[in-house]
Structure 1
Amino acid sequence: MIHGLVPSSITMIICWAFLLIEALLLVEVNVALRKKKRKNEEEDELEVISIRTMAQETLGEWGGTLATVTYVFLGYTSMIAYSSKSGDILFHLINLPASISGIFFTSLFTMLISIGGTRATDQVNQWLTTSMIGLLLAIEVLAVVSEGWAGLGGSGNWGKVPATIPVIIFSLVYHDLAPVLCAYLGGDLTRIRTSVLLGSLVPLLALLVWDAVALGLSAQSDQVVDPVELLMRVKWSGVSIMVEAFSLLAVGTSLIGTLLSFFEFFKEQLNNFTWQFPSTQLPQGNKLFGLRKWWGRNKTLTAMTMAVTPALFVSSTVPDAFSAATDIAGGYCMTILYGVLPPAMSWAMLNREAEDPEQKAFSKARPLLLGVGLFACCIVIEQILQDILLFGSS
Structure 2
Amino acid sequence: MTMCWAFLLIEALLLVEINVGLLKRNKVKFEESELEVISIRTMAEETLGEWGGALATVTYVFLGYTSMIAYISKSGEILCHLINLPESVLGFLFTSLFTILISVGGTKAIDQVNQWLTALMIGLLVAIEVLIILYGGWSGDEGSSDWGEVPPAIPVLIFSLVYHDLAPAVLCAYLEGDLKRIRASVLIGGLVPLLALLVWDAIAFGLSSQVDHVADPVELLLRSVKWSGVSYMVQAFSLLAVGTSLIGTLLSFFEFLKEQLNNLDLQPYVYTRSIYSSSQLRLRTWWRRNNLGFTAIAIAAAPPLLVSTTIPDAFYAATDIAGGYCMTILYGILPPAMAWAMLNSEGQDSEMMISRARPALLSVGLVACAIVALQILQDFSMSHS
Superposition TM-score, scaled by structure 2 size: 0.88
Partner of 2:58: 69
My pick for the range that moved more, 191-200 or 224-233, is 191-200
Q: 1:240 aligns with which of 231, 236, 258?
A: 231
Q: CA-to-partner distance for each residue in 1:172-221, whole Å, 9 max, x for gaps?
A: 11122323333444444344333322221121111100000011111111
Q: 2:71 aligns with which of 79, 82, 86?
A: 82
Q: CA-to-partner distance for each residue in 1:120-148, whole Å, 9 max, x for gaps?
A: 32222222111111110011111111211
Partner of 1:58: 47
The reply to whether residue 269 of structure 1 matches residue 260 of structure 2 is yes
Check 1:123–1:59 CA distance in 2 against 1; reply closer, same or farther (3 A cut). same
Tell me the secondary structure at the aligned position of residue 36 of structure 2.
Answer: coil
Deviation at 1:283, TM superposition (A): 11
Structure 1: how far apart are the matches of 2:272 and 2:21?
Answer: 39
The reply to whether residue 214 of structure 1 matches residue 207 of structure 2 is no
Partner of 1:114: 103
One-letter code aligned to 1:13: T
Partner of 1:326: 319
My pick for the range that moved more, 132-141 or 153-162, is 153-162
Check 1:112–1:181 CA distance in 2 against 1; reply closer, same or farther (3 A cut). closer
Deviation at 1:241, TM superposition (A): 0.9
8 Å Cα contact 2:16-2:167 kept in structure 1: yes
Deviation at 1:163, TM superposition (A): 0.8
Structure 2: how far apart are the matches of 1:366 and 1:67?
Answer: 22
Check 1:314–1:294 CA distance in 2 against 1; reply closer, same or farther (3 A cut). farther
Q: 1:105 aligns with which of 94, 98, 121?
A: 94
Deviation at 1:293, TM superposition (A): 11
Q: 1:257 aligns with which of 217, 223, 248?
A: 248
One-letter code aligned to 1:231: L
Partner of 2:145: 156
Where does structure 2 lack aligned partners over 5 or more consecutive residues?
Answer: 277-283
Q: CA-to-partner distance for each residue in 1:227-253, whole Å, 9 max, x for gaps?
A: 011112232111111111100111111
Check 1:101–1:158 CA distance in 2 against 1; reply closer, same or farther (3 A cut). same
Partner of 2:280: none
Structure 1: how far apart are the matches of 2:6 and 2:325?
Answer: 19
Structure 1: how far apart are the matches of 2:98 and 2:238?
Answer: 16
Structure 2: how far apart are the matches of 1:136 and 1:59?
Answer: 42
The reply to whether residue 392 of structure 1 matches residue 381 of structure 2 is no
Tell me the secondary structure at the aligned position of residue 165 of structure 2.
Answer: helix
8 Å Cα contact 1:343-1:372 kept in structure 2: yes
Q: CA-to-partner distance for each residue in 1:45-73, whole Å, 9 max, x for gaps?
A: 89333222221111111111111111111
Check 1:165–1:360 CA distance in 2 against 1; reply closer, same or farther (3 A cut). closer
Structure 2: how far apart are the matches of 1:307 and 1:105?
Answer: 15
Superposition TM-score, scaled by structure 1 size: 0.86
Q: 2:13 aligns with which of 18, 24, 48?
A: 24
Tell me the secondary structure at the aligned position of residue 175 of structure 1.
Answer: coil
Structure 2: how far apart are the matches of 1:331 and 1:277?
Answer: 39
Deviation at 1:21, TM superposition (A): 1.0
The count of aligned residue pairs is 371
The reply to whether residue 346 of structure 1 matches residue 327 of structure 2 is no
Check 1:152–1:183 CA distance in 2 against 1; reply closer, same or farther (3 A cut). farther
8 Å Cα contact 2:14-2:355 kept in structure 1: no
Partner of 2:357: 365
8 Å Cα contact 1:77-1:326 kept in structure 2: yes
Tell me the secondary structure at the aligned position of residue 26 of structure 2.
Answer: helix
Q: CA-to-partner distance for each residue in 1:297-348, whole Å, 9 max, x for gaps?
A: 7434432221111101111222321001111111111111110011111111
One-letter code aligned to 1:236: W
Tell me the secondary structure at the aligned position of residue 268 of structure 2.
Answer: coil
8 Å Cα contact 1:295-1:302 kept in structure 2: no
Check 1:271–1:196 CA distance in 2 against 1; reply closer, same or farther (3 A cut). closer
The reply to whether residue 304 of structure 1 matches residue 330 of structure 2 is no
Deviation at 1:364, TM superposition (A): 5.8
Partner of 1:135: 124
Tell me the secondary structure at the aligned position of residue 176 of structure 1.
Answer: coil
